[in-house]
Amino acid sequence: MAIDIQPDRAEAPGGRGPGAPRPARAWWLRPAIHTGIIGAVLGYFLGHWLGNYIASGYTQVVNSGQNDFAIILGYVLGTVGWLAGLGVFNDLGRQIAGRPVHAAEEAQAASSGLARYFRYSLDHKVVGIQYLVGMIGYFLTGGLLAMAIRTELLSPSYHVFSSATYTAIVGEHGTMMMMMMSSIILGPLGNYLVPLMIGSKRMAFPRIEALSFWLTPAAYIVLLSGLMFGGFPFGWTGYAPLSVQATQGADAYAVAFGLMGLSLILLGFNLIVTIICYRAPGMRWSRIPIFVWAIMTTSFLMVLAAPVLVGAMYMLITDRTVQTAFFTDSLGGSSYLWQNLFWFFGHPEVYILALPGFGIVCEILPVFCRKPLFGYRVAAAGMVGVTLLSFFVWQHHLFDSGINPDMRPVFMLTTELISIPTGFIFLVGLGTFWKAKIRFTVPMLFALGFYFNFLIGGISGVFLSDVPADTTEHGTFFVMAHFHYTIMGGLIFAFMGGLYYWLPKIMGIRLNQTLGKIQFWTMFVFFNSTFLPLFAVGMAGQPRRVYTYARSLETLNDWVSISSFLLGVSILIFLANFVYSTVITRVREEGNPWRSRGLEWQVASPPPPGNFARVPVVLSGPYEYGVPDAPPVADLDPPLGVLSNADASVVAEGAEA
């Protein structure tokens, strides 16, 4: 053996046997958020000092009065310090040093208590809840920024914020939402539920999964810190050369987006490997829940598209610091390079946002229609089709940019074609409604809201895909209304539905259903009253990201702003419900309240550590409602040797750590 392991000897006085559990240290001595913060602060100051040491004499730094080197190095080393303080590199260090890695005992010791949620935990269920709380926090921050935007747009002549601050707020809102909400379903619900849904006791790469989460608070803090430097004036799309020209806030944007891109890659990679390799025996591709199909296709999008984003951000950083000229036309670069790189990521990004919503809705519908999902194969094919096609449509964001005119009919074709697989979701939904027995529970209400909103969002997308019509619609509030309908009306409604549906499983408590119905109706009504008029506002000539507009549009903008404040109130109702139900009242919800056939519902709520006592053998699909004499979805206590050539210990204990 190349690695020389010195096991503890049981015979030596004070020694422990090699398999004995380590003594638990006090909570403040084990790495957690507090050590992470210390590491982050130390790393930031180190990086900042290093940047000043290197670059403070450069002419560009002296004249411009800002040292981008120091800021970027500070952020990067701060993130490294944050991760190191959390203990992310500890196991890696141990393996490099040839020392034993005690992952199993750590997992056992960390199976209870609140403290594990503040640690670098290898339990996928803990990571799922960490993601959930994180994502809700990021969403609320983005929502506050949206309230600020609509406050400014109440009047075209009286300005609450200066033009610079308003543009910075718009950029922060957009970037916060687009960055963070990419993981809003895959992070919490994907990480938590996928192993349960496929019959696995664990994820393929727990450390990578936890790392993908702990990068998100770093990205969030870095992005918000941009506000301290005056923000960035180019929105979430970061078009160069404006982004090269901008002041310090742009560094926050580039680093935050790069970190989040890394998080997306890691998150997706882990999910793909888990879904492909960790399915229980009998969990054929035709039996995996449609939610898992959605997660898998979304993960492929993340893994394939996010690297392009990270590369583009890196090029932006080098353009801003070491004077490369990727995006400067007069020096041999091209402003089109940024646009193409960004949108090559940017378009799959919006499908990263849309597909998980499809998955949740397809999961909820059969349960509350008490019917199998209509056209399971069609639904799965639709998701795969969307994933494939989404890499071929990105230039529809550039129809008026001066791209080669020949390309525009090509991309119009691919964009029109992608609406075919996107439409499958409606076929599946409408088919599931046929002769069903529809129960209007809170999750079902959100799924129905999803369908209504996504219909409007999707149809408006067809209007945008038509190049002549896009000439008027591009860069206006029409586009804004379109993507808010598909992303907020689609993804966020589905997220809420999924939360109401799965929270009894995840936490073993139920959210208050009355508050849930109030939240749904207020959210639905005010969401539509906010965003439907924006189609008209855009067609009437108001461009995006403007702090002032034509006086004739003031009434419409006021209506939209007031509606958006009420929409914010409905989100607060959600927050109140969530906090009230999980912290204050904590009404226990055991078992399977929705009478779902899903495999995740066949174990206790919340699931025990290791999910299943033994790896189950899957006997049928999860949508066999109404099928007479349908076998149960899985045998949770399979006899050993049930599969010939199966290793009994594998079935009993699951795959080795």
Partner 1 sequence: MLIGARLENFRAGARWWLVSLPARVATLTVAFLAVVGGVIFVVAHYLLGGPPTVDFTAASSGQVNMTMQSDASSNPAVVPDHPTWVSYFIKSPATGAWVHTTLFQVPAHTRINVTILGYDGSTPVRNQVWGQVSGTIGDIARYGKIPVRTVNGWNGPFLIQHTFAIPSLNLSVPVEAGPATCTTGPCTNNAHSTTTFSFVTPAQPGAYRWQCFVPCGLSFLLGNGGPMQTIGYMTGNMQVVS
Partner 2 sequence: MAATEAAVSADAQRREPNHGLRIFLIWLPVALAADLIIWFVWGPHMPPGDMSSSASGQQFDINVMAVMAAPVMAFILIYAGYALVVWRHREGDEEDGPPIHGNTRIAATWIGVTAALVLGLFVFGTVQLVVPAGAGSGEGNTPIWKPSGGTPLQVQVIGQQWRWTYRYPQFGGFESTSLVLPVGENVQFNVTSLDVIHSFWAYQLGVKADANPGINNVAYTKPEHTGQVQVRCAELCGLWHADMTTLGQVVSTSAFKAWAASSRVQLAALTRNLPPYALTYDPNSVAQLGKAFRQAGLSGAGGQYYGSQYPVQP
Residue 247 is a binding residue for partner 1 (CB under 8 A): yes
Say if CB 79 and CB 222 are below 8 A apart. Answer: yes
Footprint on residues 40-69 left by partner 1 (CB under 8 A): 59-66
CA pair distance 359, 290, nearest whole angstrom = 6
Instruction: Single out the residue of 65, 435, 514, 583 in contact with partner 2 (rule: CB under 8 A).
Output: 435
Say if CB 226 and CB 232 are below 8 A apart. Answer: yes
| Of the candidates 343, 348, 315, the residue with the CA atom closest to the CA atom of residue 399 | 343
Residue closer to partner 2 by CB (options 36, 333) is 333
| Of the candidates 444, 579, 449, the residue with the CA atom closest to the CA atom of residue 521 | 449
Residue 508 is a binding residue for partner 1 (CB under 8 A): no
The one of partner 2, partner 1, none whose footprint includes residue 228, by CB under 5 to 8 A per kind, is partner 1
The one of partner 1, partner 2, none whose footprint includes residue 469, by CB under 5 to 8 A per kind, is partner 2
- The structure tokens listed for 272 are 């793909």
- The structure tokens listed for 85 are 């303080």
Binding track, positions 331-350, relative to partner 2; x by CB under 8 A: x---xx--x-----------
Residue 552 is a binding residue for partner 1 (CB under 8 A): no
Binding track, positions 575-614, relative to partner 1; x by CB under 8 A: ----x---xx-x----------------------------
At 608, the amino acid letter reads: P
Q: Based on the number of CB atoms within 10 Å of its own CB, is 169 exposed (0-12), middle (13-18) or buried (19 or more)?
A: buried
Instruction: Single out the residue of 4, 11, 406, 590 in contact with partner 2 (rule: CB under 8 A).
Output: 406
Residue 163 is a binding residue for partner 1 (CB under 8 A): yes
Would you list the DSSP string of 345-369? Answer: HHHHHHHHHHHHHHHHHHHHHHHHH
| Of the candidates 601, 579, 600, the residue with the CA atom closest to the CA atom of residue 199 | 600
Stretch touching partner 1 by CB under 8 A, among 109-117, 364-372, 469-477, 562-570: 109-117
Say if CB 588 and CB 509 are below 8 A apart. Answer: yes
Helix (H, G, I), strand (E, B) or coil at 111: coil
Residue closer to partner 1 by CB (options 313, 425) is 313
CB of 311 to partner 1, least distance (A): 20
CA pair distance 33, 214, nearest whole angstrom = 10
Residue 165 is a binding residue for partner 1 (CB under 8 A): yes
Instruction: Single out the residue of 525, 539, 566, 573 in contact with partner 2 (rule: CB under 8 A).
Output: 539
HSE, CB side, 13 Å, CA atoms: give it for residue 177: 22
How many binding residues for partner 1 (CB under 8 A)? 41
CB of 320 to partner 1, least distance (A): 8
CA pair distance 419, 499, nearest whole angstrom = 28
CA pair distance 501, 289, nearest whole angstrom = 15
The one of partner 1, partner 2, none whose footprint includes residue 452, by CB under 5 to 8 A per kind, is partner 2
Instruction: Single out the residue of 251, 278, 624, 651 in contact with partner 2 (rule: CB under 8 A).
Output: 624
Footprint on residues 102-141 left by partner 2 (CB under 8 A): none
Query: Can you give the three-state secondary structure of 498-565, one letter per residue?
Result: HHHHHHHHHHCECCCHHHHHHHHHHHHHHHHHHHHHHHHHHHCCCECCCCCCCHHHHHHHHHHHHHHH
The one of partner 2, partner 1, none whose footprint includes residue 26, by CB under 5 to 8 A per kind, is partner 1
CB of 244 to partner 1, least distance (A): 5
Stretch touching partner 2 by CB under 8 A, among 104-112, 490-498, 544-552, 570-578: 544-552
CA pair distance 457, 531, nearest whole angstrom = 10
At 519, the amino acid letter reads: Q
CB of 382 to partner 2, least distance (A): 10
Residue closer to partner 2 by CB (options 240, 312) is 240
CB of 365 to partner 1, least distance (A): 33
Residue closer to partner 1 by CB (options 224, 540) is 224
- Which secondary structure element, helix H or strand E, spans residue 598, and what is its range? none
Footprint on residues 326-345 left by partner 1 (CB under 8 A): 328, 330
Burial 348-381 (b: 16+ CB within 10 A, else e): bbbbbbbbbbbbbbbbbbbbbbebbbbbbebbbe
Say if CB 262 and CB 310 are below 8 A apart. Answer: yes
How many binding residues for partner 2 (CB under 8 A)? 103
Instruction: Single out the residue of 101, 230, 381, 467 in contact with partner 1 (rule: CB under 8 A).
Output: 230
Footprint on residues 361-400 left by partner 2 (CB under 8 A): 369-378, 399-400
The one of partner 1, partner 2, none whose footprint includes residue 12, by CB under 5 to 8 A per kind, is none
Q: Based on the number of CB atoms within 10 Å of its own CB, is 59 exposed (0-12), middle (13-18) or buried (19 or more)?
A: exposed
- What is the C-alpha R_g of the chain? 26
Helix (H, G, I), strand (E, B) or coil at 42: helix
Instruction: Single out the residue of 195, 241, 443, 489 in contact with partner 1 (rule: CB under 8 A).
Output: 241
Binding track, positions 437-456, relative to partner 2; x by CB under 8 A: xxxx-------x--xx--xx
Residue closer to partner 2 by CB (options 167, 561) is 167
CA pair distance 606, 588, nearest whole angstrom = 10
Residue closer to partner 1 by CB (options 161, 392) is 161
Binding track, positions 166-205, relative to partner 2; x by CB under 8 A: -x--------------------------------------
Residues near partner 1, by CB under 8 A:
26-27, 59-66, 112-116, 144, 148, 157, 159-165, 169, 227-228, 230, 233, 241, 244-247, 328, 330, 579, 583-584, 586
